[in-house]
Amino acid sequence: MASTGATYPTAHNATYTVTNPQNMYGAGTVNSIGKMYAKYNTFGFSIPSGATIDGIEVQYRAYGDFGSHKAKSTLYYNGRATAAPTTYTTATFGGSYSIKTVGGPTTTWGRTWADTDFSDANFAIRYDADAAADFGYTDWMTVNVYYTVAATTPGIWVNVAGADKRGAAVYVNVGGVAKLMNNMYVNVSGAAKAIVFS
Output the CA angle 129-25-138, nearest 5 degrees: 35
**Amino acid identity for residue 101 in this structure:** T
Q: Do residue 124 and residue 36 come from a single domain?
A: yes
CB neighbours of residue 48 within 10 Å: 11
Running DSSP on this structure, what letter comes out for residue 149?
Answer: P
pLDDT above 50: residue 75: yes
- How many domains are contained in the chain? 2
- Per residue in 162-172, pLDDT (tens digit) is 666 655 556 66
pLDDT of 107 higher than 60 = yes
**Whether residue 101 is found in the same domain as residue 174:** no
> In percent, how much of the chain has pLDDT > 90?
42
Domain range enclosing 175: 156-194
